[in-house]
Amino acid sequence: MLNLDRLRSLQAVAALGSVSGAAAVLHLTPSAVSQHLRKLEQETGHQLVTRTGRGVELTPNARLLAERARHILALVDETEAELQSRNDHPVGRLALGAFPTAARGVVPRALRILSERAPQLEIRVRELDHDSPLAQVERGELDVGIAQDWEHMPISWTGNLRRRLLMVDTACVALPADHALADRTAVRVSELADASWISRPQRSTCHEWLLHTMRAQGAEPRIVHVVAEHPTQIALVSAGVGLAMVPSLGLSHLLPKDVVALPVEPRLTRRIYAVWRPEAAVRPSVRVTIEALAEVGSTLHA
Average pLDDT over residues 14-37: 82
What pTM does this model have? 0.74
- CATH fit for domain 92-164+271-301, picks 3.40.50.970, 1.10.3720.10, 3.40.190.10, 3.40.50.720: 3.40.190.10
> Range(s) for CATH 3.40.190.10 in the chain?
92-164+271-301, 168-269
The band of 234, judged by pLDDT with boundaries at 50, 70 and 90, is very high
- Looking at the chain, the domain(s) classified CATH 1.10.10.10 span 4-85
Please give the full DSSP string across 205-262, using - where no structure is assigned.
Answer: HHHHHHHHHHHTTT---EEEEE-S-HHHHHHHHHTTS-BEEEESTT-TTT--TTEEEE
Q: Tell me if residue 273 falls in helix, strand or coil.
A: strand
Residue 302 scores a pLDDT above 60: no
Determine the pLDDT at residue 88: 63
Write the pLDDT tens digit of every residue in 112-146.
999 999 999 999 999 986 567 888 888 788 999 99
Class of domain 168-269: alpha beta
**Given this structure, which CATH class describes domain 4-85?**
mainly alpha
Res. 103: pLDDT tops 70: yes
pLDDT at 160 over 90: no
Main-chain dihedrals φ then ψ at residue 216, nearest 5 degrees: -65, -20
d(CA 76, CA 71): 9
Taking only the tens place, the pLDDT of each residue in 237-286 is: 999 999 999 889 988 888 999 999 999 888 888 899 999 988 888 888 99
